[in-house]
Amino acid sequence: MKEEMQKIMEMSENDEPTPEQLSALADLLNENMKPSPEEMKTEKVPTKEEMENLRKISREKLAADKAKEPYVTIVGMDVDYNDLDGGSFDWDWNGEFIKRLLKAGYKGKEDEDIVDQWFTQVCRNVAMEVHENEMADPDKRRNFTQKLDDNRREHR
Residues in Cβ contact with 107 at an 8 Å cutoff, skipping those fewer than 6 apart = 113, 114, 117
Q: Which residues of the chain have pLDDT under 70?
A: 1-15, 17, 21-43, 138-144, 155-156
Which of 60, 64, 56, 75 lies closest to 115 in space, CA to CA?
Answer: 75
What pLDDT is stored for residue 112 in this prediction?
94
The pTM assigned to this predicted structure is 0.59
What pLDDT is stored for residue 139 in this prediction?
66
What pLDDT is stored for residue 15 in this prediction?
65
List b or e across 101-115, with b for residues whose CB sees 16 or more CB atoms inside 10 angstroms: beeeebeeeebeebb
What pLDDT is stored for residue 40 in this prediction?
58
Q: Do 113 and 106 form a contact (C-beta atoms < 8 A)?
A: no
Q: Do 35 and 46 form a contact (C-beta atoms < 8 A)?
A: yes
Spell out the domain ranges in the chain. Answer: 1-62
